[in-house]
Chains A and B, each alone.
Chain A
Amino acid sequence: MTDAIEAQDLKKVFSGKREVRALDGVSFAVEEGTVFGLLGPNGAGKTTAVRVLTTIIKPDSGMARVLSHDVTKEAGLVRSLIGLAGQYAAVDENLTGRENIDMVGRLNHLPKKAVTQRAVELLAQFDLTDAADRPLKTYSGGMRRRLDLAAALVARPTVLFLDEPTTGLDPQSRNDMWEVIEGLVEEGTTVLLTTQYLEEADRLASQLVVVDHGRVIAEGTPAALKANLGTTVLEVGLHDHDDASRATSVLAAVGSHTPNVNGNIVEVTVDNGPQAAMAALRSLDQQGIVPTAFTLREPSLDDVFLALTGRRAEAEEAEEENGVEPDPDTLNPAPSAEAESAPIPAETNPAGGRS
């Protein structure tokens, strides 16, 4: 087993009006030929990790290697081996699709002929042939992302970094993007993917880490993460607080975790959706509680966060300044009942995810 990407205790602090610990000791390893997911909310440090690994910025401390090459000491070599596509779709909107790919190809120092040929291939592969000679201004969001990814692939990188490749895309475009990424991995590319969507990490990644406030708070396979979480979330809306608190005790019996009350809505993760739904309805009916809404849904990043940290995923780094890191074990939402099965604590990480 070979690691295509290794990160060891990466730290990066951005000083400014407010000091931000973007990376506060992040470690992970990505096996060659796999998709690795960095899952976390906005501001968790995912993009900073990608920027360090792609040589754009230097870490304050720690070590990172791509294909055994140090990203700071051998930055030039690393750059010639990697591809980067980002959530900001870093493409020149005044150029056409073809011109963008040509430019990135030439800047990768590929021979002119090879670039021209490759551009034709990539435009066809990403279904952009018809739009190839139109300026990017006229492209839709999904087309821009595809072009961005196509440009990242021009030199056939062995390791590909995708920073939130589907954020802001419609479901169809997102699905297309997923299929493209799966195709790349079949061809042997190693992919590091950052995402805010549990569903995306689940679909694509074989291993993932959950990051929060610049630290790894959980890691493992998506299946393990979800197994600890319950596979489905049952959401029940109630008339008032009184009903909600009564429903909470009823739903606690069917859930795999303690229910979470959010206003008049009670959420509980369950292992078998339909069965649990039946049981929940029966019990609610026995108690004479009539729900106003009743939904089964896939768990989201929010649910993972709630399970891991006891709070919702938030974009603001509220606790960043004093460096307080909520411990996944002590802040587990169900300390009494669930303490034994705290979801994949990072301590089990063989690579030493926590300092």
Chain B
Amino acid sequence: MTTSSIAVPTLVRTPLSTGAGARLKWAFADMLTITKRNLIAYTRIPEALFFSTVQPIMFVLLFTYVFGGAIHPPGGVPYVNYLMPGIFVQTVAFGSVSTSIGLAEDLQKGLIERFRALPMARSAVLAGRTSADLVRNVIVVIIVTAVGFAVGFRPSTGVLAYLGGLGIILLFAYALSWGFAFVGLSAANSETAQVMSFPLLFPLTFASSAFVPVSQMPSWLQGFATYQPVSVVVSACRGLMIGGPTATWVIQSLAWTIGFLVILTPLAVWRYRTRT
């Protein structure tokens, strides 16, 4: 047996550097690799494409043409204008379930095992997943914008404010997907992940001001429905897209988003590290 050169891999790797700068650079590169992988996968799973595109379209049509006539927004705003900010938030919130399903699937199929045995950044699996979901959400809000305009949605505050509204929604969705990353890593399989996710989402999206003015709800529900995070983000978007009180809702939205990130990111990372 030869005793020499056992520790030298035969293919030249980019040198393993211990510097913090190099590590950060690699963590970013690894995140991009995983993000790319997840985005490719999305384009090849018909269910995921359906979930992200057809489902919001159906909600827009359902609420505009079926339920809309029975709902009277305050101040005589056309219902479609009232509805669209709610649809955006509901769509990205539902979409964040795919973060949990995706991670549960990776665990189930042994991909995370493989990743753990690779010299890649530990953070990349989660950061890559949440980033891919962010990219997907950007595409989704573009589609929903197009559908909204087709059914008569007319924002009245200008392009910049409108984009600001979308930005707030996307940031909020990004924060949420860290929470659902935690759910996915805690689930035994992708079906459980899905089952665990919806009970969290339904009260937040439907007991909110997304589709129906809070004033039309029973009084015991109004407190929760006004100040829970989904309603806050919806209100901020309404302000930015169709006018009305804005600043206070925007500040509250950002506060919720940052708060979620501060709590949920370390929680998901911890779950990833301790999951065996």
Contact = CB atoms under 8 A, between A and B. Distances in A.
Contact of A155 (B9, B41, B114): B9
B9 A76 contact: no
B44 A107 contact: no
A109 B116 contact: no
Contacts of A114: 11-12
B61 interface: no
A90 B113 contact: yes
A249 interface: no
Contacts of A67: 6-7
Interface in A71-110: 76-77, 79-82, 84, 86, 88-95, 99, 103-104, 106-110
Nearest to B7: A67
Nearest to A135: B44
B3 interface: yes
Contact of A118 (B1, B11, B37): B11
B29 interface: yes
A155 B113 contact: no
Nearest to A81: B9
Of the listed residues B7, B11, B26, B36, the one surrounded by the most CB atoms of chain A closer than 10 A to its CB is: B11
B109 A88 contact: yes
Nearest to A84: B117
A57 interface: yes
Contacts of A95: 37, 40-41, 44
A32 B9 contact: no
Interface in B113-148: 113-120, 124
B9 A99 contact: no
Of the listed residues A2, A57, A107, the one surrounded by the most CB atoms of chain B closer than 10 A to its CB is: A107
B117 A107 contact: no
B37 A80 contact: no
B70 interface: no
Q: Tell me if B's interface is mostly helix, strand, loop or mixed.
A: loop
B6 A55 contact: no
Interface string B12-37: 11101000000000100110011011
A155 B109 contact: no
A234 interface: no
Contacts of B219: none
Of the listed residues B2, B16, B29, B116, the one surrounded by the most CB atoms of chain A closer than 10 A to its CB is: B116
Given A32-B6, A81-B9, A107-B33, A90 B109 contact: yes
Given A55-B116, A84-B114, A94-B41, A1 B6 contact: no
A256 interface: no
Contacts of A93: 109
B114 A90 contact: yes
A220 interface: no
B73 to A, nearest CB: 42
Nearest to A187: B10
A51 interface: yes
Interface in A1-42: 1-2, 4, 14, 31-33
Nearest to B112: A90
Contacts of A77: 16
14 contacts: A32-B1, A33-B2, A84-B113, A86-B114, A90-B110, A90-B113, A94-B40, A99-B40, A103-B33, A107-B30, A107-B115, A107-B118, A109-B119, A110-B11
Given A57-B276, A86-B110, 18 more contacts: A1-B1, A4-B6, A31-B1, A56-B116, A80-B9, A84-B113, A90-B114, A103-B37, A107-B34, A107-B119, A108-B118, A109-B26, A109-B29, A109-B119, A110-B14, A111-B14, A135-B44, A156-B11
Interface of A: 1-2, 4, 14, 31-33, 51, 54-57, 67-69, 76-77, 79-82, 84, 86, 88-95, 99, 103-104, 106-111, 114, 118, 135, 151, 155-158, 188
Interface of B: 1-3, 6-7, 9-14, 16, 26, 29-30, 33-34, 36-37, 40-41, 44-45, 109-111, 113-120, 124, 276
